[in-house]
């Protein structure tokens, strides 16, 4: 083998200065950061002339040297742009004005003494930082930033919004997340929020419980008291949701991101300078329609439920809660209703909620007692809670009209099946008869 051949094999391959950079952030970080990596890349591309005395160069050499310096500056800008793009690909950097976040997970005074033990109590995933969270959600860091980022004025929204009529009048805003956020929220609900401890008095959105169990707990009472929490979901703002995740054993960084994923500001659609914008008109809070919201409300209300249960026992009442509906009942006709209501107002305010002053109802045994839409008195030997007779009559009449070829009041077959299933929940025999008749109409 010749000496020339040996030299050609041992010499490093030349790097084209114009070749675009391909390094990922771990490689850049391993080089010591952006500036050291840029300098190393310039040297590797043979664009660094250190210690050159330009005063000794000829005019032709100076021209070539100046051209090299211009090329070095061009490549340096390209390398820096690439390095910062890779940094943003691997870091959240910023998640919106007014939202505190930093990319380095650390310990602060709000951390629990043993967060690992707290998470283990509820079988929660560790999620130590934004990378672990993104991996668990099966998304990359830019997507996580896109889903979390808070803007007061935005060009788009992660939610579809519509209103439905309230039973008591007015309209209720429903905000359903779009597919990517929906998938992330479902993961958070399944692996985090639905595993958090809740009180036994909570009946809303709990497996094995519902409107029937909530109402049946008060069947046969002589006195029933109903109260309603005002602006329930808007009251549960970003700081309160973040605090829940901190108490669950997550650090500042992860708790902030989880809270951002589970909250959104109410927005109004506007046209500004000819372009559609979504403008925040309130604080970020739990959206009604997100899969994470019900379990978060139950977890946040743990202490509220515990205090109201203790109050109820002290005054001889039974207490349950279904979302924002508070129900108390007593087997005594002359129960201490005034004392109870005053204390409920005080406790709910202390826990960061407000009772709706126009929705408090006291129902004695001589009148119909209705809780979460179900009647809990006057059943005789029937079920402990039943669908109001008015709805049953409407259902029976609507089915009869359809069986005789008449349109009725325009109810859809799907709507009638929903009513029949509702009756079936409380009274299987009566509900099955309605469902069988609807099946024949299908």
Rounded-to-integer distance, Cα 395 and Cα 389, Å: 10
* 8 A C-beta contact, residue 254 and residue 102: no
Rounded-to-integer distance, Cα 226 and Cα 205, Å: 19
Residue 334: its pLDDT value, please?
86
Cα dihedral sign for 214, 218, 219, 225?
negative
Tens place of pLDDT for every residue, the chain, 442 residues?
444 443 444 444 556 777 888 899 999 999 999 999 999 999 999 888 777 777 788 888 888 888 888 999 999 999 999 999 999 999 998 999 889 888 887 788 888 899 999 999 999 999 999 999 999 999 999 999 999 999 999 999 999 998 888 766 678 889 999 999 999 999 999 999 999 999 999 999 999 999 999 999 999 899 999 999 999 999 999 999 999 999 999 999 999 999 999 999 999 999 988 899 999 999 999 999 999 999 999 999 999 999 999 999 999 999 999 999 999 999 988 889 999 999 999 999 999 999 998 999 999 988 889 999 999 987 666 688 889 989 999 999 999 988 888 877 878 889 899 999 999 998 899 999 999 999 988 7
Residue 8: its pLDDT value, please?
40
Which pairs count as long-range contacts for 142-149, CB under 8 Å and 24+ apart, including other chains? Answer: 142/88, 142/89, 143/180, 144/92, 144/257, 145/92, 145/93, 145/95, 147/180, 147/181, 147/184, 147/260, 147/261, 148/92, 148/95, 148/96, 148/257, 148/260, 148/261, 149/95, 149/96, 149/260
Strands 171-177 and 159-165: antiparallel
Rounded-to-integer distance, Cα 390 and Cα 392, Å: 5
Angle at 311 between CA 307 and CA 312, to 5 degrees: 115
Q: What number of residues does the chain have? A: 442
Residue 177: its pLDDT value, please?
97
Distances in Å between the Cα of 422 and the Cα atoms of 236, 369, 397 are 30, 18, 16
């Amino acid at each position: 083998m010749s000496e020339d051949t040996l030299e050609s094999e041992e010499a490093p391959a030349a790097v084209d200065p114009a070749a675009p950079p391909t390094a990922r952030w771990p490689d850049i970080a391993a080089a010591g950061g952006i500036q050291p990596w840029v300098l190393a890349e310039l040297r590797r591309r043979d664009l660094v002339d250190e210690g050159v005395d330009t005063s000794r160069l000829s005019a032709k050499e100076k021209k070539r040297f100046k051209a090299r310096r211009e090329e070095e500056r061009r490549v340096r800008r390209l390398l820096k742009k690439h390095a910062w793009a890779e940094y943003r690909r691997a870091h959240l950097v910023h998640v919106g004005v007014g939202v505190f976040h930093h990319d380095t997970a650390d310990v602060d005074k709000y951390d629990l003494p043993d967060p690992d033990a707290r998470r283990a109590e509820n079988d929660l995933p560790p999620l130590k930082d934004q990378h672990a969270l993104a991996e668990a959600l099966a998304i990359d860091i830019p997507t996580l930033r896109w889903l979390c980022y808070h803007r007061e004025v935005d060009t788009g929204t992660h939610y579809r919004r519509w209103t439905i009529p309230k039973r008591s009048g007015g309209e209720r805003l429903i905000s359903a997340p779009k597919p990517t956020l929906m998938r992330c929220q479902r993961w958070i609900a399944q692996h985090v929020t639905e595993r958090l401890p809740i009180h036994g008095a909570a009946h809303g959105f709990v497996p094995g419980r519902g409107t029937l169990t909530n109402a049946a707990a008060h069947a046969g009472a002589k006195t029933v008291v109903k109260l309603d929490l005002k602006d329930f979901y808007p009251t549960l703002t970003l700081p309160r949701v973040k605090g829940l995740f901190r108490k669950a054993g997550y650090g500042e960084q992860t708790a902030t991101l989880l809270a951002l994923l589970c909250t959104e500001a109410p927005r109004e659609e506007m046209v500004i300078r000819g372009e559609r914008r979504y403008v925040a008109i309130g604080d970020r809070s739990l959206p009604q329609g997100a899969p994470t919201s019900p379990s978060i409300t139950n977890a946040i209300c743990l202490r509220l439920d515990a205090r109201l249960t203790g109050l109820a026992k002290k005054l001889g009442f039974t207490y349950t809660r279904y979302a924002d509906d508070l129900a108390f009942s007593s087997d005594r006709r002359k129960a201490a209703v005034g004392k109870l209501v005053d204390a409920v107002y005080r406790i709910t305010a202390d826990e960061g909620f407000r009772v709706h002053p126009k929705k408090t109802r006291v129902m004695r045994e001589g009148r119909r007692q209705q809780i979460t839409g179900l009647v809990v008195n006057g059943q005789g030997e029937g079920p402990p809670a039943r669908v109001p007779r008015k709805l049953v009559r409407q259902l029976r009449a609507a089915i009869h009209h359809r069986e005789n070829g008449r349109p009725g009041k325009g109810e859809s077959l799907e709507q009638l099946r929903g009513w029949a299933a509702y009756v079936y929940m409380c009274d299987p025999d009566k509900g099955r008869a309605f469902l069988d008749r609807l099946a024949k109409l299908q």
